[in-house]
C-alpha cells in the first residue's frame, strides 16, 4: 500500500470544520489512521494536525476552545484587530491547555508545520522541535496573520481539495501561483475564516466536517 500522509490547510476559524473531520476519522477512520505516517498543516491546519499527532483525546476540548475564541473575537468592537486585544495571547493560552507536556517529543518527524519568513516570504517546513516551547512558537508563527493577529510577527529560529458544492457557479483565477476556483460559497468561507460566525453556525460547520469525512470514509472503504 502507498504511504499515507494527512495535510490540513490554513483556514482560520473554519478550522472547526477540520476538527469535525478529525472527530470522524478518530471515531470511524481508525483503519485509515493506522496507515498514516505523518501529518502536516499550516496556520489553523497546523493546530489540527498537532492535535491529531499529540493529543487525539482532546479533540472535543479543542472544539470548545475554538468556539470560545470565536465568541471572544466576535465580542470585540473591531474583532481581532480591536486595540488592546491580544489575539495571539488568547491563541497561545488555548495551545498551552491542549498540548501534553511531551508534545514536542511525540511530534518529532511525525508533524510537519509550514511557516513563512515575515521579511523574505520564504516558506519552510519544520518537523523537529527541541522543546514544547519551540513547538508552541512554531504553531504561533504558522498562525500569524499580519495586522489581523498583530503587527510584530512571531519569531522562530494540483487537486481540488475544497469541500464540494453542487450547482454553484465558479470562476477560475490564477493567484499566487495557484489555480483558485472562486464562488460565492468560497468567498463566504473566507469571510468566516477571519470573522467567525455565530456559535450555532460554528457548530453546524463542525458537523458538516464530520458528515463529509464519514462520506469520504465510506466511499473509499475506510469506514469502521
Q: What is the pLDDT of residues 44-77, one digit of tens each?
A: 999 999 999 999 999 999 999 999 999 999 998 8
Whether 203 is covered by a domain: the verdict is: yes
| Greater model confidence, 136 or 121 | 136
Give the confidence band of 118 by pLDDT, cuts at 50, 70, 90: low
Mean pLDDT of the chain: 83
Q: Tell me, what's the pLDDT at 172?
A: 59
**Percentage of residues of the chain with pLDDT beyond 70:** 76
User: What are the helix (H) ranges across the chain?
Assistant: 15-28, 30-33, 44-54, 59-75, 87-98, 103-107, 132-143, 184-194, 199-219
Asked if residue 16 lies in contact with residue 206, where contact means CB atoms within 8 angstroms, the answer is yes
Whether 184 is covered by a domain: the verdict is: yes
Whether 224 is covered by a domain: the verdict is: no
Whether 173 is covered by a domain: the verdict is: yes
> Rounded mean pLDDT of 212-223?
97
Domain hosting residue 110, numbered range: 4-157+166-219
Q: Tell me, what's the pLDDT at 92?
A: 96
> How many domains does the chain contain in total?
1
Whether 180 is covered by a domain: the verdict is: yes
Asked if residue 55 lies in contact with residue 140, where contact means CB atoms within 8 angstroms, the answer is no
Whether 105 is covered by a domain: the verdict is: yes
Whether 26 is covered by a domain: the verdict is: yes
Instruction: Look up residue 131 and give its three cell numbers.
Output: 522543546
pLDDT tens for each residue of 122-164: 888 999 999 999 999 999 988 876 434 444 444 545 433 344 4
> Rounded mean pLDDT of 177-194?
51
pLDDT tens for each residue of 33-53: 999 999 999 999 999 999 999
SS3 165: coil
> Rounded mean pLDDT of 12-36?
96
| pLDDT over 90 at 98, yes or no | yes
Locate the DSSP E strands across 100-184. Answer: 111-116, 123-126, 171-175, 178-182
CA angle 21, 75, 82 (to 5 degrees): 105
Amino acid at each position: 500500500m502507498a504511504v499515507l500522509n494527512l495535510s490540513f490547510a490554513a483556514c482560520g476559524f473554519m478550522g472547526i470544520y477540520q476538527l469535525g473531520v478529525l472527530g470522524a476519522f478518530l471515531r470511524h477512520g481508525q483503519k485509515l489512521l493506522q496507515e498514516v505516517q505523518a501529518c502536516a498543516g499550516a496556520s489553523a491546519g497546523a493546530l489540527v494536525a498537532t492535535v491529531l499527532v499529540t493529543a487525539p483525546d482532546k479533540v472535543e476540548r479543542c472544539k470548545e476552545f475554538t468556539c470560545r475564541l470565536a465568541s471572544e473575537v466576535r465580542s470585540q468592537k473591531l474583532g481581532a484587530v480591536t486595540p488592546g486585544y491580544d489575539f495571539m495571547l488568547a491563541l497561545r493560552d488555548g495551545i498551552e491547555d491542549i498540548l501534553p507536556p511531551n508534545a514536542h517529543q511525540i511530534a518529532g518527524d511525525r508533524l510537519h508545520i509550514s511557516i513563512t519568513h515575515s521579511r523574505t516570504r520564504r516558506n519552510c517546513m519544520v518537523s523537529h522541535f527541541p522543546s514544547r516551547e519551540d513547538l508552541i512558537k512554531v504553531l504561533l508563527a504558522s498562525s500569524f496573520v499580519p495586522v489581523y493577529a498583530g503587527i510584530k510577527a512571531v519569531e522562530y529560529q494540483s487537486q481540488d481539495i475544497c469541500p464540494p458544492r453542487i450547482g454553484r457557479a465558479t470562476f477560475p483565477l490564477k493567484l499566487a501561483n495557484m489555480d483558485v476556483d472562486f464562488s460565492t460559497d468560497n468567498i463566504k468561507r473566507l469571510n468566516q475564516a477571519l470573522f467567525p460566525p455565530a456559535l450555532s453556525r460554528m457548530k453546524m460547520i463542525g458537523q458538516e466536517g464530520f458528515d463529509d469525512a464519514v462520506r469520504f470514509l465510506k466511499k473509499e472503504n475506510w469506514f469502521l
